[in-house]
Structure 1
Amino acid sequence: MGEMGEEEIISSKALPMKGGDGPYSYTKNSYCQRVALDNIKEMINEAIAENLDIKHLSPISNTFCIADLGCSVGPNTFTSMNDIMEATVLKYHSEGLSSNLPEFHVFFNDHTANDFNTLFTSLPPDRQYFAAGVPGSFYIRLFPKASLHFVHSSFALHYLSKLPKEITDKNSPAYNKGKISYPTSSKEVVEAYASQFSKDFESFLNFRAEELVCGGLMVLIMTGIPDGSSRFQAIGATLDVLGYCLMDMAKMGLVSEAKVDSFNFPVYSPFRREVEELLERNRCFSVERFELVTRTRDVAATDVQAVTKHARAVTEEMIKQRFGSEIIDELYERVFQKLQEFPQFLDGIFKRSTQLFVVLKRQAMD
């Protein structure tokens, strides 16, 4: 199995969350992900208690290696890593191995443009693990073979390795004119995004299979959509609001309409069945748990300003790279106004949130 070349991976500068710890930073505006992770914490604890076979997994060096893929800048990654470590320690105690507790080594991975300075300056001072950064796309090999015991990735796999070429090709039926995402686009556009997601997810699984020891676990928390439901949820709704605001600015001559036509976010939320089919095709992992977790919230209690800041933390850097920094404040002020004017967008973004929770175990080689 060959590794993907650099030319096949989207620019590492294209996808970072807003760095630093300012009012629009991801650090200050990642509460949605935090709430979702809090709700899933017990499911991760159960996965470790039921599926982590430490008696056959214990490494010779007595070091237990954990990787968080798509860690961003914190603080959520620190909470997740601590929870995983504590659940693993409990597993050792339950197996009567309290005297043989391993040392923990956590690898924080994200694109090279991620704000690793903020990440590492905010590391918990009382952490009970060694920490290291691993920059690079998780659609390529990142670690030596059979070197990891636990892989975690949350709210990162909806980012594609690259945009499908046809959606910015004016001569293609999948040309996505006037839009920056796929949920309300033509069938051809949706199919192009779905095809790229399929290729990327297969690569992700294959490379992780090389890096995980036999019996090692991988927990994935992904944005996902119930089969047969509308694609206009969460990410899709957020990007549609941004797209409408960019087109409004283009009509006023504030940004280039041609730039909007050629600009698309490389993100995709799959239906449940899409992920199921890809997992069935992969022979390296056994599926220990696969669930679609649905949460509902009272939109009336949602702070529009907070929602706007969250959208800005996630999307500003990519917008800035394409359109320049001078339009940023006005663009997100328009997003704020649009959310106030059309509360159905707020409903699409926050009222009903769904995530796929997947637990995979690395199977023994044939």
Structure 2
Amino acid sequence: MADVDVTAALRRHGLERFADRLDVRRSSAFDVAAGAAPVTWLGEHHRSAPHLIQFSARRFYDGRLELVTRHPRNERADVIDVVAVPDAAVTDGVNQAEVDAVLDLVRRRAADPSDGGIAVVSPFRAQADALEAALLAAYDVDEIERLGLRSGTVHAFQGSEADVVIASLGLVAEDPPSRHRFVTEPNLFNVLVTRARKHLTVVTSLRSPQGLVGDYLGYAARPPAPAQTDPGPAEGWTAALAEELRRLGLPVRPGYPVGRWRVDLCVGEDADAVGVICGVHPNGVAAHVERQRTLLRAGWRLYDVFASRWSDDPIRAALDLAARIARP
């Protein structure tokens, strides 16, 4: 918009005194909001499996992001693949070898489509357009709807998500520095690698990338580590119950981290693991209720095993809990 149009719009609505904050050419709506109200930090992540978000949590959020999605069923799941495309070139902004590789990946996924859809994304407009044209040529509307197939640039996918994401970097080593800098802009790269809920495949023609891309691909190549539990002092009812459950041959992990909360006891392995709450949260009833709500929303099976119900007898409590867990 021209300056004269901005000025006329402000005058028409009696907002001339806010001209410095409502100059839409120089201040975004976010800039205006951030200048008028305090920023609330959203510290819990509810979208992706741990492997998909841990890199960003450390690199871009300084460890302030807590993973509500963490559970023994997914904490060690390796859900990032890297497909290397050799001998590629970029012509008119399009890396055709990566387009072909993406089409092949979508064909494989089409045989067993994800319930949450497939997203194909690239940082570059020309690459995204080429990917979209190739997908439209390969699939009719009915098939696109069946697959939940979408494609676009990183900016188009900001705020969106899909179970499966295929990301085409669209770069080659010989590209000018400006194209490499564009991909490694932190906000853009963070969005690129965090749209997936269950699985991400990165398609790249870079042979030995350095910097942010190299760090991420190195991270993707390492299997994720299990969550570090923090049992704290082993005492009281929780410690006694944990000991009896171990005597019954059940794996027990005290203080299992889920977001900003700790599950008193995580009992079992992988998808069969359940959460055991051994008493009211030490911060009171409100914290206790919020923890319960968070864990249930995250899909946890929870059991309350308070000492009062079993007259402080951990053996009886452990036997009863083991029987309840074993029921289908």
TM-score w.r.t. the length of structure 2 is 0.28
Q: Which structure: larger Rg?
A: 2
Query: Normalising by structure 1, what TM-score?
Result: 0.26
